Each structure stands twice: as C-alpha cells, then as structure tokens.
Amino acid sequence: MNLDLLAIAAHPDDVELTCGGTMLKMAEAGYKTGILDLTAGEMGTRGTPETRAKEAAAAAKILKVKYRGTLGLPDSDVHASRQHKLRLASVIRELRPRTVIIPYWEARHPDHYNASTLCYEGCFLAGLKQLPISGEPFRPHKILYSTAFTTARPTFVVDITAQFKQRHKAILAFSSQFGPRSGSKKSEVFLAIDRLEDEMNQLARHYGDMIGVRYGEPFVQKEMIKVNDVVKMEVRSV
C-alpha cells in the first residue's frame, strides 16, 4: 500500500489522543496515512468492541487516513511475543510505511510500553528476508515515538494548532469513551478516562507553548536531528 505515515498504538483512540493532530496535518499535506490499532480495546470499562470499531472508523474519517486496521491482539495482553511480532511484521510488509509513529517505551499501562517493544521489533523483523511470513521484506525508514502518555522530554514538537479542532472531534467520535454520561447517577464511579481528554488538551497547550504556538504534539526520535541552516531555525530563544 506504500503508506507515507503509519501510527500504531495499543488501543483504539490512543492515536487520536496522542498524535491525532499530526496524523491529520500530514494527510492535509498530501501524505498517505494510516492507523493500526493492536487491540480492539475489549477490556475498556465502557463500550463494546463493536461500538469502538464503529467509533474508530468515524475518527479515521475525520483524520483523513487512508487505512485503519486492527491487529486483533488481546487487550491487556499486548506483548512482544514471536507470534505477535510476526503478525505485525506481515502488516508492515503490506502497508510499507516510510515513517511509523509508535508508543514511547516507558508508560504506566503495560499495553503501552509492551506495544513500544512489539512495534519496534515487528518493524525490524519485517525487513528480514528469511522471516517465515509472506510479502516482500520491508523496514520503515523512520521510527518516531509518541511521548504524549508519558513525562519523557520530547526531542521535537509538531505544531497542530490548525488541526486541534478536528483532533478534538476525532477524540469525541469515541462517544462510548468520552461522550456525556447520559442518565448516569451521581454515585457512579468517576473514571480516569473522564479527565483524559482534558488532560491531553492541556498537554497539547503545554507543548504548543514550548514551540511558541497554541497547540503541539510531542515526539522522541532516537537519532540526532539534522540541521542545514542555523539562521532559519524556528522557535525563539528566551
């Protein structure tokens, strides 16, 4: 499929919350983008997998991605087993993304940090000729780590000010997760997820501030960032 950019994350709505603005920005720039959810999010407190699949498709439309798929791993049991890596590697061979965005390697939720290892190793294995799976060997050119769910210091921030409204819409497309709780009793247990969208928006403001814009999304790349023109470098020094 030769995608330019593929974002992979453990649960449906992780991509929207962590790098939805960047995905839309790249689609608007003319790149062919895609989202791969490792699980269907069946362990979530709210919403059935069927509902979440519908919501994921709606969110994908808002973010203008050309592809959205689910790898079908068990939610809460994402790990870098040989079997999971081979499954991921065959999808990488099909989609052939130049750049991938994967979760940062440290996180509170085990699925998130395990997804990071699984994604890195799956991308690596996809390039091995002798791997016992079908498809042409392929390895992405670039791996970026989304740090939005962590406190890790990003190495760069993408300006998503122009995409922020649509990102918000894409997040709200997961109405079983983020919609108003109609008919809910006051005694209902307050879930962390009720605060999540708010927190992610505040984070986008925080990282936007760090690069002198309204909203931004944070990433880490392991490699050094190459600069050709130090005179035209952006972000004003304080």
**Residue 29 vs 43, nearer CB to Zn ion:** 43
Cβ atoms of 16 and 60 closer than 8 Å: no
Measured at CB, which residue is nearest to Zn ion?
Answer: 11
- Tell the smallest beta-carbon distance from residue 12 to Zn ion (Å): 9
Residues 6+ apart with CB under 8 A from 216: 157, 158, 159, 160, 161, 204, 207, 208, 209, 210
H helices, E strands: number in the chain: 7, 7
Residue nearer to Zn ion on the CB measure, 148 or 213:
148
Burial 23-35 (b: 16+ CB within 10 A, else e): bbbbbeeebbbbb
Select 11 or 93, whichever has its Cβ closest to Zn ion: 11
For the CB of residue 232, give the shortest distance to Zn ion in the complex, in Å: 37
- The sheet carrying 99-103 orders its strands as 67-73, 33-39, 5-9, 99-103, 142-146, 216-220, 156-159
- Interface residues with Zn ion (CB under 5 A) are 10-11, 14
CB of 44 to Zn ion, least distance (A): 9
**Nearer CB in complex with Zn ion: 51/161:** 51
Q: How far is the CB of 219 from Zn ion (least distance, A)?
A: 17
CB of 9 vs Zn ion, minimal distance in Å: 6
Q: Which is nearer to Zn ion, 69 or 127 (CB)?
A: 69
